[in-house]
Every structure is written in C-alpha cells, then in structure tokens.
Structure 1
Amino acid sequence: MPDAKSDLKDDGELKEFFYQLKTLEKDHFYAKIWHIDIISAKDKKSAKAQIESELDVILAEKITKKETKAEFKIFIVELTNEWRKHWTTVHVCKVCETPYTHLMKKQMNEYCNSEVCSDRCNLLVRKDKIDEYRLQYGKSPPCIYKITNKESGMVYIGQTTQPVTLRWYQHMFHLTGTKFHEHVLNSKIDDWQFEVIEVVKDVKTLNEREQHWINHYDSINSGYNTATAKAEDKSKKRQKSQDASSNNDDKKEEENHEYKQSTENL
C-alpha cells in the first residue's frame, strides 16, 4: 500500500475521492457495481493508480474500442463536504438500532430507505406503514372477531388488521391443522357464524383485547382457542412468515442464477 506521505506535495493536502468499480460483462443491460469505497490521494490520477495497485486490477473511466486491457470501469469523483456527510454520517436503524452509514449499506448491496440498515428491516417498516395507513383511512380497522359453531355453541376468538372477510376466508379455506381447523374441516361452511365483536382503536392493544374476549367466552377451556393472546406468540408468527418470505426470495435468486447459467451454455 503506497505511503500517504509520499503523495503530499509542498503545501498540498490529501483529498478524499469516492469511487465505484463496475463490471464490463457484455451480457448485462447495465454494469454491475463490484466495489465501492472512499480513498485519500493528492489528485484523481493518483487515486486511480492507488486503487489499481491495492486491488491489482486495470481500470478505465471510459470504455472505447481501443481500450482492451481494462477489467473494470471506474467512476471516481472528489468528495465535497456535502457528499462526505452523506456517505460517512453514522445513523441508527429505527428497527434494530444497529449503527450504519450509507457507504456501509452500498458495500453490502442493501438498497433500502435511509431510515433502516437492511432490506429485512425495511420490510418491517413497510408493514408498520401499511398498518398506519389502514388505521388512518379506515380501510381495515384492527378488530376482534368471534367464530361460533351454530350447533355446539363453541367459539373461536381471533384478532386481525386484515379485511375481516379475508380473515374469514382464510379460516374456512386455508386450514393449518389446529384444533379449530380440524372441526372446520369436518363441517360445512353454513355451520359457522362469523362476527366482529370489537373494533380496536389502538392496534398496540390488540393482544390485550383479544385476551379479554378469550377470558369472557372461556374459549380455551370450552371453545376452540388453544393459547392465550401473548405478544411474543404473535411476533414469532410474524418472524416465521418473514423468514419464509426471505427463503423464497433466496430460492428464486438461486433459480434465476441456474437459469442464466443454462442459457449461457446453449
């Protein structure tokens, strides 16, 4: 690694340069970012030479027909105070409270919004915003519902922030093997009565209000509920759903990679 002091000339000081290295693969509609960072040097030419030396690559700012040796295209620009602040200021993720900078996110290929550290945290923020929108505009107020078996009078108590008709449909046709769904499976749809018993103003109290109605109808001992309305239980379900979604995304990415390799061999 070159000695930084050797780059100083008279009263000149080292400057900071932001750079991106992009691939030159012909089968892409646009070049992919391979590396991104900030480097100190006396000028742009010295910064480029230092990057080539440190990474052992050949770089070019412009790719022409005469340029045949370059391995990567480099975008490099001197950092202004404004852009230095943008790339290096430390933020704290509003979801997981992990400290991060925008430069760190770029280096990790995270393209989420500026309030969070990763795409995973961004999904959680997006869900919260959807819930806020539903509450503000009344599209789907959070509520407690009761499903009653007309013949036995046994009930199931649940909560939802989804449209209640969707939740009713899910219980009737997306069975999961629970005690309640086993009874649904062995009956007809008109054996059941669905009703909203409380519209909840504050979504944070959903678990509390669900537990109130579970106790009121004693639906664990004499109904179809099998567990209390604990916040941690709901969180685990949401996390399981998010992990499943993440696994599906990984699987799709792997399938796309395999497809690309197969088409390259044609």
Structure 2
Amino acid sequence: MLGESMTKFYYQIKGRQPAGPNREAEWAWPPVFSGMVEAENRKAAKAQVEELYERQFPSRVLRSDVSDHAYLLHIQELREHDAYLLRRFEETACKECGAVFKLIDKYNDPNTETTSHDYCTEACKQAARFRDVQEFRLLNEGRSPAVIYQVRQKSTGRVYVGQTTQPFTLRWWQHLSNPTNCKFHSALGSSNITDWEFSVIEVIAYPEGCTNRAAYITQRESHWIEVLSAVDTGFNTVRPAGIADQAQVPLLLADLACPSGAGGQSPPIQR
C-alpha cells in the first residue's frame, strides 16, 4: 500500500522434533533458520518468508496437532529498543583477528564453533582468553606492560587516546571516578556508560637500545593520536609535548621488566 513505511520483522522457522517412546512431538530448539525481512505489516512479512522458502508455514499449531506439521513460523516486529536482536544482523569485527562476521550467520550454522558476540571463531576466542591469563599473571608479578589505549564513544565514533604504565583497567576506572573539566571527561559524564568502549591499541615493546622509555611511550601515544585524529575530531585536548600523562602515577619504567626477586629487589609498588 502506497504511503506505508516499511517495518523490520524478525522470523524464526522452528522444526518439529518427532515424538519418542516417552515424549510427545514438540518444536525443537534452536530454530532451523532465523532471519529478517522488511514489509508493510506482519501479513506481508509472512508472505515474503513463504515466497523465499517456496512453501507455506503455520504460525500457530495446537499442541495436539504438532505431529501434523513439520515447521512452525514465528514472526515479531522489531522496534528500536530490540537492540539485542538487531545486533545479530550487524557486521561485527572480531576483537582478535579483525575478521568481519554477523551473529545471525553463526546462529544459522549448525556446525558453528562458537556463538560469541566478540570473536569470529573458537580459536580467536581461546587466543584472547590465553592473552588475558598472561596479562593477569603479569599484573600479579608487578610486570604490567605500558600500553596505549583508546576510549571510543560508540554513538559518534570519536576517541580519546592515552598512555599508562598502570593496569589499564585501573586507568579506565580513574577516568570514570576522578573526572576533570576536560572535554573528554565532560562527554563521559553527560552520556550513558554503555555508549563507551575501552580498548588497548598497542602494548609497548621498547626498541633495542632505548634509553628514555618515558619519551618512547609518549612518542607512540602521539602516533596514535595523529592516526585516529584524536585532537582534531576526538576528545584529546592537546598533542603530547614529550612528557607522560601527569594525571596518573606511573610505575618506575626502568623497573618494568624487573620481576620480584631479580637482584634481590621487589617490583615497585603503585601508590
């Protein structure tokens, strides 16, 4: 009908699980297939699905009649607040390898290795978990590496880039719990925390012969600020001028690689 706007509809085609010796026939889970169509109304959406699969589907079946039907079609209108379902159809970059995938493709693949929202395969998921364990071990041993991190506002794509020699999760907490009047903290305080993503974009590996680690960290921070346009379009106020972030209390950089017991000394203590 002319003038009517198109609406998104989420559909699931459920298959029948045959009756057994001690059970009645019922609809199996997970569904055989799930997808999304756009139509003027629910009736038109059902017609689209039936045309796509070249067969008709019942939308309601009495429990006593389940054995007479192979499939059941469930359709629901998608609204803006249905973010959980809508996300299944969005392209997502794997947090480990960067490969792009859609969750809905995983749900529709009976041989999928993982339905993780963050990783494309089980191998990537396990690799990330292994790294998390390694980082936790380094923290326990007082050998947390220096990192460059970004805080990204999902709704705008704008970023803040920073450096830290502390556990990076602590640095994120400091931004939230000790705000200043800078534009980054103002934006943090005036929006929902779920609109923000914190991630490490570089773990510092010092070049051979590096004599000024603090300057090298700041150099890498400057690099990422330029790459991500964090001053021009993001939340950084100024470009680094060769000094470390004074809002944090860093580890003694010369001792970063000195585990407990090396040379009879313990690692430095954060205060």
Query: Given the two structures, how large is their TM-score scaled by the length of structure 2?
Result: 0.42
Higher relative contact order (CA 8 A, sep 6+): 2
| Structure number with larger C-alpha Rg | 1
Higher helix proportion (structure 1 or 2): 1
